Structure 1
Amino acid sequence: MSGGTTGGGTARSGTAGGGTAHAGTAGGGTASGVGRAVVVDRPGAHRLVTVDTPEPGPGEVRVRVAAAGVCMSDRELYDGRRAPGYVRYPITPGHEWSGTVEAGGEGVGPELIGRRTVAEGFRACGRCARCREGETSLCTAGYEETGFTRPGAFADHVLVPARLLHLLADDADLRAAALLEPAAVVAAAVRSGRPEPGERIAVVGAGTLGLLAVQLLAASSPGELTVIDPRAERGRVARESGATGALDPEEAGRLRGVYDLVVETAGAATTGASSCLLARRGGRVVLTGMFAAGATGIDPVHLSVHQLTVRSVFGAPSAAWSYAVRAFTGGLLDPGPLVTHELPLERFEEAMTLVGGGDPGTGKVLLRP
Structure 2
Amino acid sequence: MQACVIAAPQRAALQTVDIPEPGEGQVLLRLEGSGVCASSLPLWEGRSWFEYPQQPGAPGHEGWGRVEAVGAGVAGLARGDRVAALSYRAHAEYDLADADAVVPLPASLDGTAVPGEALGCAANIFQRSQIERGQTVAIVGIGFLGALLTQMAVHAGARVIALSRRPFPLEIARSCGAQHVVPLDDHYKVIEQVKALTEGRWCERVIEATGLEWPLQVASELTAERGRLVIAGYHQDGMRQVNVQLWNWRGIDVINAHERDPRRYVQGIREAVHMMQDGVIDPRPLYTHRLPLDRLGEALELTRTRPDGFLKALVTA
- After TM superposition, the score normalised by the length of structure 1 is 0.77
**Cα 1:84–1:287, aligned 2, differ >3 Å: closer, same or farther?**
farther
Correspondent of 2:2 among 36, 47, 65: 36
**3-state SS in 1 of match to 2:288:** strand
**Aligned pair in 2 of structure 1 residues 50, 91: CA closer, same or farther (>3 Å)?**
closer
More off after superposition, 192-201 vs 349-358: 349-358
The 1:237/1:344 distance shift into structure 2, 3 A limit, reads same
Moved beyond 4 Å, runs of 4+: 82-85
Q: Which runs of 5+ in 1 are unaligned?
A: 1-34, 122-145, 147-151
Normalized per residue, the structure richer in helix is: 2
**Is the contact made by 1:197 and 1:220 (CA closer than 8 Å) also made in structure 2?**
yes
Q: Distance in 2 between matches of 1:175 and 1:189?
A: 23
Match of 2:198 in 1: none
Q: Would you say the 8 A contact 1:183–1:324 is kept in 2? A: yes
**Other-structure match for 1:158:** 95
Rate the CA distance shift 1:348–1:164 in 2: closer, same or farther, 3 A. same
The alignment of Structure 1 onto Structure 2 pairs a total of residues equal to 303
1:99 to 65, 72, 75: 65
Letter in 2 for 1:92: G
Number of the residue aligned with 1:312? 256
Q: Give the counterpart of 1:185 among 113, 117, 121.
A: 121
Tell me if structure 2 keeps the 8 A contact 1:66–1:175.
Answer: no
Partner of 1:274: 218
CA RMSD of superposed structures (Å)? 2.2
Does 2:297 align with 1:355? Answer: no
Aligned pairs (5 A) from 1:138-217: 146=88, 152-178=89-115, 180-217=116-153
Alignment check: 8 A CA contact 1:202 1:261 kept: yes
Tell me how far apart the structure 1 counterparts of residues 8 and 55 of structure 2 sit (CA, whole Å). 6
The answer to whether residue 169 in structure 2 is matched with residue 234 in structure 1 is: yes
1:333 is matched by which residue type in structure 2?
Answer: I
Residue aligned with 2:156, SS: coil
Instruction: For 1:170 and 1:113, locate their aligned partners in 2 and report how far apart those are by CA, in whole Å.
Output: 15
The one-letter amino acid paired with 1:244 is: Q
Query: Aligned partners of 1:203 and 1:110: how far apart in 2?
Result: 39
Contact between 1:273 and 1:296, CA under 8 Å: does it hold in 2? no
For residues 84 and 92 of structure 1, the distance between their equivalents in structure 2, rounded to whole angstroms, comes to: 15
How far, CA to CA, are the matches of 1:294 and 1:99 in structure 2?
Answer: 36
1:204 is displaced (CA, Å) by: 0.5
The letter of the residue matching 2:244 is: P
Cα 1:195–1:273, aligned 2, differ >3 Å: closer, same or farther?
same
Q: Does 1:298 align with 2:242?
A: yes
**Residue aligning to 2:86:** 120
Unaligned stretches of 5+ in structure 2?
A: 196-200
Aligned partner (choices 316, 320, 338) of residue 286 of structure 2: 338
Residues 42-121 of structure 1 mapped to structure 2, 5 A cutoff: 42-81=8-47, 89-93=54-58, 94-109=60-75, 111-121=77-87
Query: Partner amino acid for 1:66?
Result: E
* Change in CA separation of 1:58 and 1:82 when aligned onto 2, cut-off 3 Å: farther
- Structure 1 CA distance for aligned equivalents of residues 299 and 48 of structure 2: 18
Alignment CA distance shift 1:330-1:112 (3 Å) = farther
Percent of matched pairs sharing the same residue = 29
Could you say what secondary structure the match of 2:124 adopts? helix
Asked if 1 retains the 8 angstrom alpha-carbon contact of 2:10 and 2:297, the reply is no
Hey, what does 1:126 align to over in structure 2? none
Contact 1:212-1:333 at 8 Å conserved across structures:
yes
Report Cα offsets for 1:93-145 as digits up to 9, x if no partner.
21112111111011113743211111235xxxxxxxxxxxxxxxxxxxxxxxx
Residues 294, 104 of structure 1: alpha-carbon distance in 2 compared, 3 angstrom cutoff: closer
Query: CA offset at residue 176 of structure 1?
Result: 2.9
Structure 2 CA distance, aligned partners of 1:253 and 1:211? Answer: 21
Distance 1:307 1:246 in 2: 26
Q: 1:88 to 1:166 in 2, by over 3 A?
A: farther
In 1, Cα distance between equivalents of 2:36 and 2:237: 23
Matches within 5 A, 1:321-336: 321-336=269-284
- Whether 1:252 aligns to 2:195 is no
Deviations 1:259-305 (A, max 9, x none): 00001111122122221110110000110011244454221211111
Contact persistence 2:6–2:53 (CA under 8 A): no
The alignment partner of 2:31 has SS state of: strand
Could you say what secondary structure the match of 1:177 adopts? Answer: coil
What is the TM-score of this pair, normalised by structure 2?
A: 0.89
Deviation at 1:211, TM superposition (A): 0.5
